[in-house]
Chain A
Amino acid sequence: MSSVAPTPTDTPTLDATEVVVVGGRRFSFNVRESGIYVAFLAIVVLFSVLTDGALLEPQNISNIIVQNSYILILAIGMILVIIGGHIDLSAGSVVAVCGAVSAVLMVNHDVPWPVALLVTIVVGAFIGAWQGYWVAYFGIPAFIVTLAGMLIFRALTLTVLGNQGIGPFPDGVRTLSNGFTPGYLGNVALGPLGGADLVSLLAAFAAVGGIVVTQWRARAARVTYRQQVDPIALFVVKMLGMAIGILFVVVQLARFKNLPWVLVLLAVLVLGYTLMAGRTVFGRHIYAVGGNLQAARLSGVDVRRVTFWIFVNMGALAAVAGVIFAGRLNQAGPTAGNAFELDAIAAAFIGGAAVQGGVGKVAGAITGGLIMGVINNGMSLIGSPSERVMLVKGAVLLAAVAFDVWTKRRAESAAR
């Protein structure tokens, strides 16, 4: 017998040790959760140096956001699918078919673009419902259902498009995917940095202020309930880091062409989905189902309903990504969205999702997606050939998951 039965039993004293080991003595620094943000920062610094600062030029920051927006939108849906213990291989094909549907509506039938966008999202949701039905109610593994979906929806894309690209898209859609907020209040001078859009700056200050206030209130509430909180110094450092990050990005954007509309959309989605995943009953149910399906079922969670809606949500987000991608290219094409699902899945896993399900965060998936985006962008700036970019991205994915497995194993052996 070469396998060793696990020994999960331990004594209460071990729990105390465990906290000392994991919690650290002064800082409750969780390596597994915070590691990803540190890694992101390191990669940004690395490529800023390698590109002599070109990475952080105003136009380049704008490019990174716009070029990766659809992957990030998919990553939000994907992380929820993965937390729920499933996978979606069809996301790229759904992006394509939704882009095609929106093109037919907007270009061929002159449907007003907001209406067409809405219809497309509903179509995406129905595609998600179709897949969710097979996974949740029929009991076929998501891997198979969405692999089939990958083929089926690619085929539908070709049918809808009649094997050719459809374009150009109405201005509204192109602005949403590619455009920037207009400078309602004009520019202000920022000394040597030149002029910057006032609205963008105000938005940034509002965002920073909002985050600081909510975080502070959450901290205060936790103190009232006598929960463990970060020491005040660490809290200030974290908030300062966050504020500097946001202000830096927005100032750069404000010096260029103001805020990209997709950034506004992304901010809303990230905020909404973070709240949904972390604070709502439905979000909790996703974690419960992914963590232990049977336990969730016996705790009264309607596990099939939860699984079904995870896929509906994924379909709807893929539709949004599809319209934005098509609008950016100004054309819905038959090969749109190829391999997007792989980028979204990689983003989720780099961002700390667990292969077994039950673990992961929206912010993590976004950071994972940005890590890949910065690597893509940074390497193309220094003129790396695409095969090398692919190689590095593959290595980063493997390294991220290996690190996750390693820290988990270390925590376990420390607990034993």
Chain B
Amino acid sequence: MNLMTLQRYKNELIVLLALLFALSAFFYKLSQNSYVKENRTEISKKISEINTILTLKEQWGGKGLGSKVATLKTVVKSSKVQSFNKKSKKLIASYKELTGSELTKLTNKLINLPVQITNLNVQQRSKNKYTMEFTCKW
């Protein structure tokens, strides 16, 4: 294509270039659109998963739970604490001669702690006297 032909179709070339620019821009927009469509769900899912893991880890295995669990020993009189074995991240405890209100207090305290109650056994020994045994871990 020589210079003369280029000059003859100068107008058409300008329009063609502008058209190419508009088309490229359009495809750029389309590519961005599909990129966002593909990635938005994945990114949101990733954020949600990471946040959920962080929350769950903090809630069900956070630091400082050991000391909170230790407070279960002082909820009732020490004479009523039959055994209280806290090892690593596990607690085995048993209580005796608990009144109804003490049982309620101890149970509420236990269920309000973010620990896994693997075993619980409450037995009425006589009227308004209970024993309680439980095992929990975190």
Real binding pair: no
